[in-house]
Structure 1
Amino acid sequence: MAGLTLRDVKKRYGETQVIHGVDLDIEDGEFVVFVGPSGCGKSTLLRMIAGLEEISDGTVAIGDQVVNDVAASKRGVAMVFQSYALYPHMTVYKNMAFGLKQAKTDPAEIERRVSAAADILQITDYLERSPRNLSGGQRQRVAIGRAIVRDPEVFLFDEPLSNLDAALRVQTRLEIARLHERLKTTMIYVTHDQVEAMTLADKIVVLRDGRIEQVGSPIELYERPANAFVAQFIGSPKMNFFSTADLSPNASNVLGKEVSASEHVGLRPEHLILTDAASAVVEGRLDLVENLGEYALVHLISATGVEFIAKTEKPPAAEKGGMIGFTVKPELAHYFDTESGLRK
């Protein structure tokens, strides 16, 4: 096993720079998730670590070795892609053993590694099947098994659950979490799904436009986002933002501070509490209610036209178009500079 160190890593395609001086330390055995919107550079960064993309500037080290000029096959990493990329004419066993056979590994060692990986992933009964006779979740487990048998120092996952339906995504996500717990190997996982990031990661790296916005544990990013971008990206539904014009007359008394015109107030939907107008921090006209059984998502529009969401235990009693007030515990309010977006 090994940790990773990235120092001032940059990537250019001609005159276009897509990764802008990334510095990052990943500890041995950590599960790190790269998360961000499409085009933020997370997959490009992963591919540079894997050796599938050249590094324009800076250094990538795996353990104590700088690997900028080391071939992908010699870096001690194994990558699981969004596409399963299984050989359709080979059995599951042969798919998992293929890389080891190409490396001229002893047949007895191949048998040991494939059997051990199949046992970990609970696919022993499928070893003689062909990929076409497997479900999507089973195929993804075979792809993960093919990585496990290489006994890598670092596992790299590039949006591995994107091709699965909702139920299989949840199941396979749990299997990956258990796999990390069992193997204790360094894992780097790319996703645009912040729910995957929050549930899997020891450490989350939030990227935007080829730059790191914040690095921290899931709870750190949720409770103390460094800026407005992270605040709205982490959390589902996303954080609501209000200017002074959106706040109720009594908001300053409830929040315990005077909100200035140079800041936005961030309030998470799950922290909004139904209340009367006199003690409300914000009020909104009821627009739509999504009743999801265990909770309701209440969609509202403020007097200034700002759309926001409250997450409540049950739907409000108000009719559509009626005004509803919400309060919040002062310690759960967030404040961000309107110009820079930085936390205040």
Structure 2
Amino acid sequence: MAGLTLRDVRKSYGATQVMHGVDLDIDDGEFVVFVGPSGCGKSTLLRMIAGLEDISGGTVAIGDREVNDVAASKRGVAMVFQTYALYPHMTVYKNMAFGLRQAKTAEAEIDRRVKDAAEILQITDYLDRSPRNLSGGQRQRVAIGRAIVRDPQVFLFDEPLSNLDAALRVQTRLEIARLHERLKTTMIYVTHDQVEAMTLADKIVVLRDGRIEQVGSPIELYDRPANAFVAQFIGSPKMNFFSSEDLTGSVSTVLGRTLGADEQVGMRPEHLTVTDADSAVVHGKLELVENLGEYALVHLTTPTGHDFIAKTEKPPAVDKGATIGFTIQPDLVHVFNKATGLRI
């Protein structure tokens, strides 16, 4: 096993720079998730670590070895892709053994590694089947097994669940978490799904436009986002933002001061509480209710026409078009600079 160190890592395609000096430390055995919107550079960064993309500048070290000029096959990493990339004419066993045979590994050692990995992933009964006779979740487990048999220092996952349906995504996500707990190997996982990031990661790296916006544990990013971008990206539904014109005089009680014209307040939907008009921090006209059983998502509009969402235990007992007041605990309020987006 090994940790990773990235220093001033940059990537350009011609005159276009897509990664802008990334610095990151990943400890040995950590489960780190790269998350961000499409085009933020998370997969590019993963591929540079793997050796599948050249580095335009900076250094990548795995353990105590700089690997900028080391071939992908010699870096001690194993990658699981979005597509399963299984050989359709080979059995599961042969798919998992293929890379080891190419590396001239002894047959007895191949057999041991394949069977050990199959037991870990609970696919022992499928070793003689062909990929076409497996479900999507089973095929993904075979792809993960093919990575496990290489006994890598670092596992790299590039959106491995995106081809699965919702139920299989949850199941396979749990299997990957258990796999990390069992192997205790460094894992780097790329996703655009912040729920996957929150549930899997020891540490989350939020990326935007080829730059790191914030690094921290899931609860750190949720409780103390460094800026408005992170605040809206982490959490579902996303954080509401209000300007001073959206709020009532009660906001002074919550904030302990008047909100400045250059500031905006962030409030998570799950932290808003229905209250009477006098103590409300924000009022909203009821537009739509999504009743999801265990909770309701209440869509509202402020008097200034600003849309926001409240997450409540039960649907509100009022008609559409009625005005509802909400308050929030002071320690759950986030304040950001409007121009820079930085937390205040």
Q: Output the TM-score relative to the length of structure 2.
A: 0.99
Alpha-carbon contact 1:248-1:282 (below 8 Å) kept:
yes
Q: Deviations over 1:245-297 (max 9, x none)?
A: 00012221233222111110000000000001100010000000000000000
Tell me the residue number matched to 2:224.
Answer: 224
Q: Deviations over 1:285-343 (max 9, x none)?
A: 00000000000000001111111000000000111011000000000000000110000
More moved, 96-105 vs 243-252: 243-252
Tell me the residue number matched to 1:249.
Answer: 249
Tell me the residue number matched to 1:132.
Answer: 132
How many Å separate the matches in 1 of 2:257 and 2:139? 55
Q: Tell me, what secondary structure is at the counterpart of 1:311?
A: strand
Alpha-carbon contact 1:254-1:279 (below 8 Å) kept:
no
- Read off the aligned partner of 2:15 and give its amino acid letter: E
Tell me the residue number matched to 1:110.
Answer: 110
Alpha-carbon contact 1:76-1:154 (below 8 Å) kept:
yes
Residue 97 of structure 1 and its aligned partner are, at CA, apart by: 0.3
Q: State how 1:178-197 maps to structure 2 within 5 Å.
A: 178-197=178-197
Q: Tell me, what secondary structure is at the counterpart of 1:105?
A: coil
Q: Tell me, what secondary structure is at the counterpart of 2:222?
A: helix
How many Å separate the matches in 1 of 2:250 and 2:129? 67
Asked whether 1:168 is paired with 2:168, we answer yes
Q: State how 1:1-344 maps to structure 2 within 5 Å.
A: 1-344=1-344
How many Å separate the matches in 2 of 1:127 and 1:248? 65
Q: Tell me, what secondary structure is at the counterpart of 2:173?
A: helix
- Read off the aligned partner of 2:218 and give its amino acid letter: P
How many Å separate the matches in 1 of 2:221 and 2:81? 27
- Read off the aligned partner of 1:253 and give its amino acid letter: T
Q: Deviations over 1:58-86 (max 9, x none)?
A: 00000000000000000000000000000
Residue 183 of structure 1 and its aligned partner are, at CA, apart by: 0.2
- Read off the aligned partner of 2:200 and give its amino acid letter: L
Q: Deviations over 1:76-134 (max 9, x none)?
A: 00000000000000000000000001111000000000000000000000000000000
- Read off the aligned partner of 1:179 and give its amino acid letter: L
Alpha-carbon contact 1:48-1:54 (below 8 Å) kept:
yes
Q: Identity percentage over the alignment?
A: 83
- Read off the aligned partner of 1:133 and give its amino acid letter: N
4+ long deviations beyond 6 Å:
none
- Read off the aligned partner of 2:237 and give its amino acid letter: P
- Read off the aligned partner of 2:40 and give its amino acid letter: C
- Read off the aligned partner of 2:313 and give its amino acid letter: E
Alpha-carbon contact 1:81-1:160 (below 8 Å) kept:
yes
- Read off the aligned partner of 1:125 and give its amino acid letter: D
- Read off the aligned partner of 2:310 and give its amino acid letter: A
Question: Any unmatched runs of 5+ in structure 2?
Answer: none
Q: Deviations over 1:1-42 (max 9, x none)?
A: 000000000000000000000000000000000000000000
How many Å separate the matches in 2 of 1:239 and 1:332? 11
Q: Tell me, what secondary structure is at the counterpart of 1:304?
A: coil
- Read off the aligned partner of 2:278 and give its amino acid letter: A
Q: Tell me, what secondary structure is at the counterpart of 2:232?
A: helix
Q: Tell me, what secondary structure is at the counterpart of 1:174?
A: helix
How many Å separate the matches in 1 of 2:62 and 2:71? 13
How many Å separate the matches in 2 of 1:305 and 1:214? 31
